[in-house]
Amino acid sequence: MSERVVLDHGSGGRRSRDLVRSVFRSRLSNAALDAETDAAVVALALDASPAGDVSNAADVRIAMTTDAHVVKPLRFPGGDIGRLAVCGTVNDLAVSGAEPRYLTASFIIEEGFPIADLESIVDSMADAATEAGIRVVAGDTKVVGRGECDGLFITTSGVGIVGPGREGIAGASRVAAGDVILVNGPIGDHGATIACVRNGIDTDPPLASDCAPLSGLIQQLYNSGITPHFMRDATRGGLATVLCELADMRSIQIQIREESIPVRDTVRGVCEIYGFDPLYLANEGTMICVVDQADASVAIQAMQAHPLGQSAVIVGEVLESGSARAVMRTAIGGRRVLRMLAGEQLPRIC
C-alpha cells in the first residue's frame, strides 16, 4: 500500500522530523535549511554567496522563518490563533538570536466564518505585534468553501536582524561542558490548557496558555551583557524534545533535575488525570536558554526582572562527558534517559 501522510507526521516529534528530512530537505537542500534551526540565519549582502553562507557575508545577517498555525479551538484561555501566529514566529526568530522586525501573515478562511471573530483575532494579532515590537507588513487572504478548512488557518513569516556575535546561537555552536540550562518559567501551561479546553475540564485555579512573545525577555538578557550559547522555545514536543535535539545537535550529554523544573500544581494535576508527562507538553512562551556557568546568576537576575521570566530557574547543565543524550535525575533519586516525543501524548485508557 502506498504511504500516506498520517496525523502523527504533524506531532512535532521524531516522525515530523523524519518527514521533513525524507521529503523536504532531500529535495530543497542547502546549508541554511540543512542546519534544521527554528529560523534560518542567512546573509543578506551584495557579496554574500547564493547559498546565504553566513561566513562569506560582509555585513547584514538576517533570520527568516515561517510557521503555519492550526489550533482547535481558535480561542483559548491566554490567547487565540492570532496571538499564537504572531508569537510563534516572533519566538522562532528571537531564540535564533535575531531581533524580530517584520512579519507577513496569510489567512485561509472558511466560507461562513464570522467577520466579528476575524476582527477579534486580528485585534489580538495587533496587540501581540505591539508587545513584540514587530510590524506586520504584508498579508494575503484566501477564502475556501465550507468544509474545506476548519474555520481559519494562519501562516506567518518573519525576518529579523541577527546582531554581531549572535549568529552562532541558532546552531548552538558555543555550547560547551559546564554550561547551565535555564528555563524562564513553568512548563506545560499551553498543552495542559488546550487539553482541558478540548475536553471541557475546568481547573481551580484556572489554567491559561503561556502564549507570549519572548523577544522582550531575550532583549533583557542582551542588555545585561549576556550572549546565550543557545535558546529554543519548547513548543510541540515540549522541554524534553528540545533537550534531546540539543544533545543530538552538539553530541553532548545534558543533565536536568526533576525537582528544579517548574511545573504548576494545576498542570501536574491535569497530567495525573490524563497520564501526560509535563516534559512533553507544548509551550508557547517558554524557552530553554543555555549560558556560560559564569553568566548564570546575571542571566537569572535579568530574566527575573522581566514579566515572562519571574520564575526563571536553573534546571540542569551540560556535562563534561558522556554519550549524546539528555538525562534526568528523578525526584526520588532515580535516573531516567529522556527521549524525543514519539507520537502525540495520549490520555490514559484506564
Partner 1 sequence: MIFVDEYRDRELVHSLSRQIHAESRRAIALMEVCGSHTMAIGRFGIRSLLPDHIRLISGPGCPVCVTEIGYIDHACAIAAEPDVIITTFGDLIRVPGSLSSLERERARGADIRVVQSSLDALHIARDNPDRKVVFLGIGFETTAPTTAAAIAQAARDGVSNIFVLSAHKVMKPAMMALVTGGVSLDGYICPGHVSIVTGAAMYKEIVAECGVGCVISGFEPADILLAILMLVRQAERGEHAVEIAYKRAVTWDGSRPAQRLMDDVFVPRDAVWRGLGTIPASGLGLATEYNRFDAEGAFTVDLPVAKEPAGCRCGEVLKGRCEPADCPLFGAPCTPENPVGACMVSSEGTCAAHYRYHNE
Residues that bind partner 1 (CB under 8 A): 1, 4-8, 13-15, 18, 199, 265, 268-269, 272, 275, 277, 330-337, 339, 342-350
Which residue has cell 514587530?
A: 134
| Peptide linkage before 205 cis (omega within 30 of 0) | yes
Q: Which is nearer to partner 1, 178 or 347 (CB)?
A: 347
Q: Which is nearer to partner 1, 76 or 274 (CB)?
A: 274
Q: Which is nearer to partner 1, 27 or 335 (CB)?
A: 335
Which has the closest alpha carbon to 285: 178, 192, 191, 211?
211
Q: Which is nearer to partner 1, 79 or 186 (CB)?
A: 186
Which has the closest alpha carbon to 149: 54, 81, 242, 202?
81
Rounded to a whole number of angstroms, the minimum distance from the CB of residue 263 to partner 1 is 10
Rounded to a whole number of angstroms, the minimum distance from the CB of residue 172 to partner 1 is 24
Q: Which is nearer to partner 1, 271 or 289 (CB)?
A: 271
Which has the closest alpha carbon to 318: 180, 118, 186, 115?
180
CA distance 316 to 256: 4
Rounded to a whole number of angstroms, the minimum distance from the CB of residue 198 to partner 1 is 10
Rounded to a whole number of angstroms, the minimum distance from the CB of residue 338 to partner 1 is 9
Rounded to a whole number of angstroms, the minimum distance from the CB of residue 24 to partner 1 is 18
Q: CB of 253 within 8 A of CB of 324? A: yes
Q: Which is nearer to partner 1, 101 or 325 (CB)?
A: 325
Rounded to a whole number of angstroms, the minimum distance from the CB of residue 299 to partner 1 is 29
Which has the closest alpha carbon to 131: 195, 52, 216, 58?
216
Residues contacting 10, CB < 8 A, separation 6+: 16
CA distance 95 to 90: 9
